[in-house]
Copies of this chain bind each other. A is one copy, B any other.
Amino acid sequence: MENMADEAFVTLATDDSYSLGALVLGHSLRIVQTSRSLVILVTAGVTADMRSQLASVFDLVQEVGEINSQDEANLTILTRPELGVTLTKLQCWKLIQFQKCVFLDADTLVLRNCDELFNREELSAAPDIGWPDCFNSGVFVFKPSDETYKALVKCAKEKGSFDGGDQGLLNLFFQDWATKDISRHLSFLYNMNSNACYTYLPAFKRFGNEVKIVHFLGEMKPWMYKVSEGKVVKPHQSQYYSDHLQYWWDLFLSHVQPHQDIPSNDLGKIKLELPEERKSSVFQDHPMALNLHSRQEAWEKGQIDYMGVDCFENIRQKLDSKIYGIK
Contacts and interface: CB of A to CB of B under 8 A. Distances in A.
A178 interface: yes
Instruction: State how many copies of this chain the complex holds.
Output: 2
A1 to B, nearest CB: 28
A79 to B, nearest CB: 21
A132 B188 contact: yes
6 contacts: A132-B188, A133-B187, A133-B203, A163-B202, A179-B185, A179-B187
A189 B307 CA distance: 30
A133 B189 contact: yes
Contacts of A313: 311-313
Contact of A200 (B181, B206, B301, B312): B301
Interface stretch (A18-26, A101-109, A122-130): A122-130
Interface in A169-218: 178-182, 185, 187-189, 196, 198-207
B306 A312 contact: yes
A204 B133 CA distance: 11
A202 B132 contact: no
A302 B199 contact: yes
A45 B236 CA distance: 41
Interface string A277-308: 00000000000000000000001111010110
Contacts of A134: 200, 203
A52 to B, nearest CB: 38
A84 interface: no
Given A130-B200, A132-B188, A182-B179, A306 B315 contact: yes
